[in-house]
Homo-oligomer: A and B are copies of this chain.
Amino acid sequence: MEDVARIAKVSKPTVSRVLSGSPLVSAETRERVLAVAREQGYALNRHAQKLRRERANAIAVVLDFGSHRQGAIGDPFIFELLAGISEALSVRDLDLLLSPSGLETVEGFVDLYQSRGADGFIILGQGTRDALLQKVARRNIPMVVWGAVSEASTYCAVGSDNSLGGRLVDERFLAHERRRWLFVGDCQHEEIRLRFEGLQTAARARKDVEIDVLSIESMAFSAIHDQANAYLKARPERPDAVFAFSDTAAMAVIGAFAKEGHLTPRDYSLVGYNDIPPAAHFTPSITTIAQQTGVAGALLVEKLMQVLDGRRPRSAMLPTQLVTRQT
């Protein structure tokens, strides 16, 4: 930097100002410095900058690859979220640190934060570790979470209205006069539990509706398929309505049930979740609950920026919609 300064006949601070886009330099000087920097092949050292500025200019995005790898909650949908976040951060000139290791404990978060590895965190999906997240939030670490939105939460969360999603299905099944319902999903995940609760909204009060749960052990596609298959074999009365926690799971169910001659929509209604592209073109096409993934990423980032500004943004719930198709 000193070299550039000397050659451009200015001082170090001026070079710094030019290169970090400060408006406190005359246009003339700026040009000169820029020219010299370019011809000398000089680039600011980001770490020196981050050290001095005392901020990382980076956000850590935490993804539970372990469970998503097998098509977990998310299907392509987590990917969309990630794309949205990446874009929103990019606009603000913030780096995106993907799933740094060590974030399995509160100390992991504290350490990454204190060592200035990241200015804040975006966590995608509470999964089954909400307790951990609550603890992290209590340590005053800037964060926002994609997932279930709850009143009691210590942190700001953004998520789809899972309960509404469930209710929409509840209504649909009742309208179709279905009586033996099956919910497919792991209620240990808060988001999924809310969908299940939504499903019970009106049904709970009715004596003639019976809701069974097929609790998914593994998120793997074939595991779901096998479990669904086993379920049907073990039961004489078959469900006449199925609500699956994801479209992918819905596909697994269709396949497994079809093997036993139990066909949708002839024998049962089926609703999935996420509205992934193939759902529309599956045979039969899958009725599903769509989430607004498009805006989600941007919203998460915006909320986090507010947290970084010292504010306490409210959690937000994005609407969900029933997309009616053949099943």
Contacts and interface: CB of A to CB of B under 8 A. Distances in A.
Contact of A43 (B98, B114, B225): B114
Nearest to A96: B98
Interface residues of A, number: 58
B114 A41 contact: yes
Interface string A92-134: 0101111111000000001100111100000000000000000
Contact of A47 (B44, B76, B116): B116
A115 B43 contact: yes
B76 A80 contact: no
Interface string A242-261: 00000010011011101000
Contacts of A283: 254-255, 258, 282-283
Contact of A45 (B90, B95, B116, B285): B116
A100 B96 contact: yes
A207 interface: no
A116 B49 CA distance: 11
Given A90-B101, A281-B254, A115 B45 contact: yes
A225 B281 contact: yes
A317 interface: no
Interface in A51-67: 51, 56, 61, 63, 65
Contact of A80 (B48, B69, B280): B69
Contact of A97 (B76, B95, B115, B281): B95
22 contacts: A41-B114, A43-B111, A43-B115, A45-B115, A46-B115, A47-B48, A47-B50, A47-B56, A63-B86, A65-B87, A76-B79, A79-B79, A95-B117, A96-B100, A97-B98, A221-B278, A221-B281, A225-B281, A255-B280, A256-B281, A258-B283, A283-B283
Interface of A: 41, 43-48, 50-51, 56, 61, 63, 65, 68-69, 71, 75-76, 78-80, 82-83, 86-87, 90, 93, 95-101, 110-111, 114-117, 220-222, 225, 248, 251-252, 254-256, 258, 277-278, 280-283, 285
A-B complex: 10 closest residue pairs judged by Cβ atoms: A255-B281, A221-B277, A43-B114, A90-B101, A47-B51, A47-B50, A65-B83, A43-B115, A98-B98, A96-B98
